[in-house]
Structures are given as structure tokens and as C-alpha cells.
Amino acid sequence: MLDDATPTIGPIAGLGAIDCDVHPRLPVTADLLPYFDAYWREQAPYRNIDRLELTGHPVSLPPYRREGAANGTAAEIASGLLDPNGLSAAILTLVNGTQALYDPYMADAFCQATNRWLAAEYLDADPRLRAALVVPFQHPEAAAEEIRRHADDRRFVAVVALAMGERPLGQRANWPIYRAAAESGFALSIQSGNVYRHAPTQAGFPSYLVEERTHMAQAAASQTMSLLSEGVMTEFPDMKIVMAGTGATWIFGMSWRVAKDWRGARVETPWIRESPEKILERQLRLTVGPFDAPSDMDPVLVDVIGSPDMLLYSSDYPHAHAGPAGAWPRALPEDLAPALARTNPQETYPRLEV
Amino acid sequence: MGRHVIARADEIAPGKSKRVEVEGRDIAVFNTGTGYRAVTNRCPHEGADLCRGIVARFVDAEGPGEFTVVEDKVMVRCPWHGWEFDLDTGRSYCDPNRVRVKSFEVAMEGPDGRVAGPYSVETFEVAAEGAMLVLTI
Amino acid sequence: MTTAVLEKDTKSDAKLGVIDCDIHPSLSNPAEILPFLPLRWRDHIEDYGLRSPNPFYAALPYPRMGNGMRQDSYPPGGGPAASDLAFMQEQHLDPLGIEVGLLHALNAGPSLMNIEMGAAVCAAYNDWQIDKWCGPDPRLKGGICVPQEDAGLAVKEIEDRKSDDRFVQVAFVPKSLEPAGRRRYWPIWEACEALDLPVGVHSAAYGQRANTASGWASFYVEEHYSFAHVAQTVLISMIFEGVFERFPKLKLVLVEGGFAWLAPLMWRMDREWEEMRGEVPHVKMTPSDYVRRNVWVTTQPVEEPPNPKHVRPLLDWIGIDRLMFSTDYPHWDFDHPERTFKVGLSEAEMQAIMRGNAAAVYGL
């Protein structure tokens, strides 16, 4: 039943596919020193700030490292993913602790240095690579500035947010970030990850990492709910929202419920002027690596989800999912490949030129 | 087209409603404060009595937090699930083309006879003639 | 679209006698519970109040449209919705053909920060359920409220009620201090399994943790949606902590979370378990196998997808045998037994959802 039989790259072969969710290695302070200003160049080593790896998303551990994907450099991504799958582009999203730091100025400095490091180490190294900006949600004005500074570098196509963050993403405090992103056509890429300001569940911290990972889908759903209810999806129609690496199929449990509740509770949020599932279909995108469904799935699932336009091809490389890197999910009809791997990414990321 | 005296005008206070049966049909009559409206009593969703619903001006918002109350658009909110129906047209807000109630004339305008689908409720014309309310069906 | 199925009349099926797995009885006024409390706690409450993790002392943190009630459910003689048995019988039990109604007496007892007072409040609500509801109308069955954060006191309350067969389940509030599968709750699960009392988990407005993993949401629509998430947390935790290995006959009933989320959650748990099973060697079976053996969900608020036909594949993915009908009377998102399912179900499927499954789970 499970998607581990013998998945193959299958239908994306020969398409020049665009992979919407790939992860670079985490930079350590030594990597970032050249990109810090004088203050942080002295402070970062002095205060022993090194690798900002998240407890809720521990990418140094085996579940996040498929065999053979040891160092995560641009060259390794090319040989392990881009070349064998014939990709025309891959969007790198770095999930680390820059958004978990408590000091907003430190967060800003680490985000800026990380983006410069990404450009130098990855984007300059391989023209197929694109990246999402890391920005300090702790300091929305600084985050907006960082986005505007990169408006002309079209290799950056998105902004990273975490599924389990400090406050629900739709709230107005974050709007300067979205205003800047929408101005220049950045998408918002929401990734598995946890800053531990709050418990991952409404009943506290679970014992096991597998539980926390399972909960990432409901965290993505909560963020979707927030971005919809607060009006971000309608106020910033030029910013698509991408839920990356959280399994995709949770969407119908959420969209049906919110559409139903809206019929009765619309008066609370009357700026939502059409049925929510229509707004979600327009603004929300879901990556399909990994894809939560059995391999012998009834193809009606795509209709149940809403529309194939909402789905984006992705590998979640180098995370250790079953089968070869970037395998097409067996639960999805193969004839969707051109849409998911080409058309939909191009419409989701207007800055992406391939 | 039959005309029926259904109530004394002062029987239904502003904001209140009355359930009447006319020619075998179950009808909810509302005093909106500025006039009378009548619709099929049965909500097309799960069958609640619309006469038990709250009558309120339509609320709208240009953007988040920018609430407005539309004075000339009066809705009944279904007493169960809160679905809103425009008392002038019988149309639901959430799905105006598919979900509507028939409104009946309690005013001098002609009946809105179009029935869009299985969820339709009718509107009826109802008018105060002197001290009495007259419903046209 | 699909006009024919929308109009399907399911009256004949429903008239077999419905088991309604979620009815909310209410106090006529706050003082009504006091006679069921020892004098010591009556005095305490009068002087110091009932402290729960809710920012408002006597109001909901997310104010609800129409107070969250069916607007036609207020008794004609006055008082809150569902506070009068005669009117509940007249409006709900009799006309809808409810043969058995399972009560979920929502109260702050399990969530009070003073555990001893919580135990007294739970006991009071248990006595009140019998006195006001289950005694006078044998169709109504109680759920044992327990001070769940102290498993010893909770088990004592269960033991005190075990010989009263008017209680058919143990009520557990999902917004617990720790996820439901953690060891602190195991004595409760052990007692439930030993006494063959299903655990009825009903969503609640009270809890010490934020309603999303990113903090408190802004709107009631978000809070309402989060109820489905905390039901998921109970399930995820119990499976991955190995509760159903340790207590293989335990029955878990998740109430008022809807059910569309269950299929993708089973798929997700199965995939994550395949990738991470080394972390949880005590989980012997595929997670969805435990769901199919130990877990049921109630139907309300029923799923109403934009295309009503999509309920059909969903039912097949979950399994008809997992679903038990509920109305949530008198709450605003109430479901009517004759209007709930807008897709064609066979007579046998309808019967299973409307009564058969619940009759088997609860031994009715």
C-alpha cells in the first residue's frame, strides 16, 4: 500500500522539471563570517553562535539525509538530484533557526548573511539553482527591507516561513513582509519547522519526533486557516502561498471545513467575500514530495483535493523518503507531470525564469 | 394569484417574525423595521424553520477590519447553521446561484418567480393594507 | 449539480431509531450544580471561583455567533439551550426518533487548575447527569467526567460509577496537559479497557496550550477548526506511544471533529511510521491498522464538500464501520439525521452509521 514499492522518476523524465522543494546544507558561522558586518563578525564567534539547527527539524539526523546525500553542497545536489532527473531548476529552501532566535537584530544579521552565502555558494555555482530568502519574522520591517534588497536578483523566488512559528502567519504584524513580497512577485514558502515558542500540539509536547513530524500537516493547515481568515490571501493576491513538504492531502479536510463554517460564520470575517475553497484554489499551492496517500490511490483524490493546479512537483531532497530522489508519487496520475513540474511552478513563482 | 390576510400589522414587531400557512405552504413573515418580507419557512440546507432566524442588515467589508452594515439589504440568518438569505430575493449569500429560498410578496413588487435549484426557497409579496398584512401567493 | 442525490429522502432509514452520539445538556443556571457539590467546595467556589485557563472568567474566549447555539433551541419557559428535559424531548429526542442519546456534559471540571476542586466538580456533573437527565429519561446515557490530570483521582471516579450502567463511556478532554498517549494517563486507559468503557473525546474550549502550534488564532472560525486538530493529537499520541499495544481492547471515540481529516491523517501516519519506525519500536502495526481496530469518529459536523459526491470516496477511505452519527444538539453546527448525508448510502451503510456501529461500540 505504501509509496515505497519501487517508485521511479517516471513521468518527469525529459520534461526539464522544476523541483519546488530542495534543501541546502545548514551554514555554520565560519561560512557566514565573510557576509557579516564588523559587529557580527566579532560577536558570532565570541558568543559561540554556530549551527542554528532546529530541534523540531533536526536536519543533521538520518531521517533528513538520504543515503549518499552527505554534504549538501551545490555540486552534490547537482550530481544527486539535478543531473539524474534532468531538472531545469530547483528551488532551495533553507530551514534553520534564524527564525527561532530571540534577538531580532541577531536574527536580521544571520538572515542577511545566510542569503548572501546562499547566493555565493549555490546560485553562483549552478545556474539551475534558485532560492527562497530567509527573513527575520521577529522583525518584520527588517524582513521587508531584506526582500526589497533582493527585488532585482530574480534567482531568489520566494520567502521562507515556518509551519510552527511565533504567531499565526496571517496576523497583521507580518503584513510588511507580505507587502514587500507581493510587490516583487515573491511566493511565501511555508516549511516544516518549529521555533518552540509554543508546543507543537494543543496538548503539549509529544514524546517522539515522528509525532511532531506528523503534526506538521496540521500546523500547515492552521497557517492556511490564518492566512485566509486574516485576509492575507485576498489582500496580497500577487503572493502565492506554498505549503512545502507537509504531505498535501490534508488540504481537503481543511478546505471543506472552512468552506462549510464560512457559510454560517461569515459575519465574523466579512472580507472573505467568496467561498474559501475558491480563494485557496487560487492562492494556495502544495508540494507533492512527500505525498501522503497510498500508492494504489483512486485518482479521484485529485478532484477531492480541489484542482491539480494547486499541486507542485518536489523532491524534498535530501530528506530520506522512499525510492530514488525526486521519484514521482505513485498515488498521482502520471499525466499530471507536465502541469506539476512545469506549468504550475512557473505560475506560482513569477520571478522564476526557465 | 391569491391574496390572503395573514395577520394584523401590529402583530409582528420590528425585527420579529410570524409563521403562517397559506394555500398549504409554510411561510415565514418578517417585519424588518422598514417593511414586511415573506419567504418559504424551510431552510433548503437541513430544513430549519427560517421564522426562528435572526433578521439583520447585511454585513460586508472592503478589507480586513473594515466592517460596514448595508442598511437596505436585509438578511435572515438560519437558526441552525447561520446561512444567510436575502429577504428581498431569497438568494443565499454563500451560494447565490444554487442556494436560495423563495420569497413571497409582502410588498407591492411582483414575485421573484425564478427558482434556481434544489435548494430554492420562495419569496412572497406581503403588504400592510391599513391594519392588516396581506400576502400574495 | 448532483440535484438528484441532494433531494434523496433518507427518512425510512433514519426511522429505525437513531443513536445520537453527542448531545449537550445544560444547567438551567450556574447555581444548579451547587447542590451536587460538598459544602466545602460550594463555599470555596463562592469565595474564590472556578479557575480555568481561560482569559475570561465567565465567557468564551472566542465569542460565538448566536452564542454558538441553535437559535430555536431555547426552552419556551426560559433558560439556556438544552437546559430543559421536556423541551429536549419535544424538540429533539421524540421527533428525530432518537432511541439512545449520549450526553457530553461540557464543564470545566477536568480543566480546573485546582485538581481537588476539579475532582469535586466532575463528580457533581456525574451526579447531575443522572439526576436531571439519565434518570428521568432512560434514552439518555451519561459520560463519566474525570479529573484527568490526576490519574488516581480519575480512576477513583470511574470506579465509583462503574456499577451504574447509565454511564456508557468515560469523557476525556483532548486539550490535556500532555498528549493523551503519555504515561500519566495510562491508569485511566487501563481502567477503561478493564471495564469496557469507551473513551469519548469531545473538543473543548478550555486548555493551557495555544490552539495552533504558532500561538493563539484570532477568530472563532479558526478556533472551531482547531477542534479537529486536537482530536488528531489524541489519536497520533495514543498510536505512537503504543497505547493500543498496551491496551489492545481500548475503544477511542473522537467526537465533534468531523471526519474528512481522518483519511489523510491515516495516510500520513503510515508514511511517517514507515520512515521513522526505528524511533517507536513499540508500535507493531501500521498506524491505520490501530485506527481500524480501536478508533471511531462521530459524524458531526458532517462534511459538506463543494462537490457533495466526494463524500463517497471519503467514506470508503475511512471505512463506514468507523463512523457513528451525532447531532451535537443544541449547538449551531447541529446535524439532522434525515438531512446529514447528501450522497447515496445503502440501507445497510445508513443503518451502521445511524445506530449499528454505536450499538456495538457501546454495547447498547
Of A194, A171, A33, A44, which Cα lies nearest the Cα of A105? A44
Q: Taking residues A46-57, what's their average pLDDT?
A: 92
CB contact under 8 A, B80 and C340: no
- How far is C211 from A282, CA to CA, in rounded Å? 26
Question: At a CB cut-off of 8 Å and minimum separation 6, what does C158 contact?
Answer: C144, C146, C170, C188, C191, C192, C195, C197
Return the CATH number at B82.
Answer: 2.102.10.10
Cis peptide before A345 (omega within 30 of 0): no
Cis peptide before A206 (omega within 30 of 0): no
> Residue A2 pLDDT > 60, yes or no?
no
Mutating which of C185, C214, C302 best tests the A interface, going by the most A Cβ atoms within 10 A?
C214
Cis peptide before A84 (omega within 30 of 0): no
Residue with more model confidence, C94 or B6: C94
- How far is C28 from C84, CA to CA, in rounded Å? 7
Return the CATH number at C9.
Answer: 3.20.20.140
pLDDT one-digit tens code per residue, A294-333: 999 999 999 999 999 999 999 999 999 999 999 999 999 9
CB contact under 8 A, B82 and A262: no
Mutating which of A271, A275, A277, A278 best tests the B interface, going by the most B Cβ atoms within 10 A?
A271
Tell me the pLDDT band of A68, cut-offs 50, 70 and 90. Answer: confident
Residue B95 belongs to domain spanning: 3-136
Residues of chain C in contact with residue B119, where contact means CB-CB under 8 angstroms, are 6
Residues making up chain C, counted from first to last: 364
Chains touching A (at least 3 CB pairs under 8 A) are: B, C
Contact B121, B100 (CB under 8 A): yes
pLDDT one-digit tens code per residue, A173-200: 999 999 999 999 999 999 999 999 999 9
CB contact under 8 A, C209 and A222: no
Cell numbers standing for residue C62: 472566542
CB contact under 8 A, A270 and B59: yes
CB contact under 8 A, C240 and A265: no
Residues A230, A347, A301: CA angle, nearest 5 degrees = 75
Partner C, chain A 149-188, Cβ-Cβ below 8 Å:
163-171
Amino acid at A16: G
- How far is A298 from B5, CA to CA, in rounded Å? 58
For residue A312, the cross-strand partners are A287
Tell me the pLDDT band of B1, cut-offs 50, 70 and 90. Answer: low
- How far is A89 from B32, CA to CA, in rounded Å? 61
> Residue B104 pLDDT > 80, yes or no?
no
Amino acid at C22: D
CB contact under 8 A, B46 and C70: no
Taking the whole predicted model, whether its pTM rises above 0.90 is answered as yes
Count chain A–chain C contacts defined by CB atoms under 8 A: 247
Residue C240 belongs to domain spanning: 3-362
| HSE of C298, CA atoms in CB hemisphere, 13 A | 30
CB contact under 8 A, A270 and B95: no
The CA R_g of chain A, rounded to the nearest whole Å, is 19
B40-44, B69-73, B83-87, B95-99, range with the lowest pLDDT = B95-99
Q: What is the mean pLDDT of chain A?
A: 95
Tell me the pLDDT band of A234, cut-offs 50, 70 and 90. Answer: very high
- Number of structural domains found in chain B: 1
CB contact under 8 A, C72 and B52: yes
- The torsion angle over the Cα atoms of residues A234, A235, A240 and A243, rounded to 10 degrees, is -70
Q: State the nearest Cα–Cα gap between A266 and chain B, in angstroms.
A: 9
Q: What is the mean pLDDT of chain B?
A: 84
Q: State the nearest Cα–Cα gap between B114 and chain A, in angstroms.
A: 22
CB contact under 8 A, C225 and A171: no
CB neighbourhood size of C97 (10 A): 16
CA A291 to chain centre: 14
CB contact under 8 A, A259 and C233: no
Question: At a CB cut-off of 8 Å and minimum separation 6, what does B45 contact?
Answer: B78, B80, B81, B83, B99, B119, C339
Mutating which of A266, A275, A277 best tests the B interface, going by the most B Cβ atoms within 10 A?
A266
CB contact under 8 A, B83 and A172: no
pLDDT one-digit tens code per residue, C80-118: 999 999 999 999 999 999 999 999 999 999 999 999 999
Of A100, B120, A30, A155, which Cα lies nearest the Cα of C6? B120
All domains of chain A, ordered by start, with CATH? 10-25+51-348 (3.20.20.140)
- How far is B106 from B124, CA to CA, in rounded Å? 6
Q: State the nearest Cα–Cα gap between C130 and chain B, in angstroms.
A: 28
Of B59, B78, B94, which has the smallest distance from its Cβ to A262's Cβ?
A: B94
Q: Residue B110: its pLDDT value, please?
A: 29
Q: Is A63 an interface residue toward C (CB < 8 Å)?
A: yes
Residues of chain A in contact with residue C177, where contact means CB-CB under 8 angstroms, are 203-204
Q: Which residue has the cell 497520533?
A: C236
Q: Taking residues A20-49, what's their average pLDDT?
A: 96
Partner C, chain A 101-160, Cβ-Cβ below 8 Å:
none
Amino acid at B75: M
Q: pLDDT (tens digit, 0 to 9) for every residue of chain C, 364 residues total?
A: 333 333 344 444 445 699 999 999 999 999 999 999 999 999 999 999 999 998 898 888 899 999 999 999 999 999 999 999 999 999 999 999 999 999 999 999 999 999 999 999 999 999 999 999 999 999 999 999 999 999 999 999 999 999 999 999 999 999 999 999 999 999 999 999 999 999 999 988 778 999 999 999 999 999 999 999 999 999 999 999 999 999 999 999 999 989 999 999 999 999 999 999 999 999 999 999 999 999 999 999 999 998 999 999 999 999 999 999 999 999 999 999 998 888 889 999 999 999 999 999 999 9
Chains touching B (at least 3 CB pairs under 8 A) are: A, C
Give the 3-state secondary structure of residue A187.
Answer: strand
Q: Residue C143: its pLDDT value, please?
A: 98
- Number of structural domains found in chain C: 1
Q: Residue B127: its pLDDT value, please?
A: 84
Residues of chain C in contact with residue B83, where contact means CB-CB under 8 angstroms, are none
Mutating which of C71, C221, C222 best tests the B interface, going by the most B Cβ atoms within 10 A?
C71
- Residues of chain B in Cβ contact (below 8 Å) with chain A: 59-67, 77-78, 81-84, 92-95
CB contact under 8 A, B52 and C71: yes
Q: Residue A30: its pLDDT value, please?
A: 95
Q: Taking residues A60-82, what's their average pLDDT?
A: 91
Residue with more model confidence, A215 or B7: A215
Residues of chain A in contact with residue C219, where contact means CB-CB under 8 angstroms, are 229-230, 268-269
Contact A282, A252 (CB under 8 A): no
Contact C58, C52 (CB under 8 A): no
> Residue A4 pLDDT > 80, yes or no?
no
> Residue B111 pLDDT > 80, yes or no?
no
Q: Residue C343: its pLDDT value, please?
A: 84
Question: At a CB cut-off of 8 Å and minimum separation 6, what does B22 contact?
Answer: B2, B4, B6, B124, B135, B137
pLDDT one-digit tens code per residue, A275-293: 999 999 999 999 999 999 9
Chain B residue whose CA is closest to A264: B82
Three-state SS sequence of A44-64:
HHHCCCCCCCECCECCCCHHH
Q: Is A225 an interface residue toward C (CB < 8 Å)?
A: yes
Q: Taking residues B4-31, what's their average pLDDT?
A: 91
- Number of helices (H), then strands (E), belonging to chain C: the values are 14, 8
Cα Dmax for chain C:
62
Mutating which of B19, B80, B84 best tests the C interface, going by the most C Cβ atoms within 10 A?
B80
Chains touching C (at least 3 CB pairs under 8 A) are: A, B
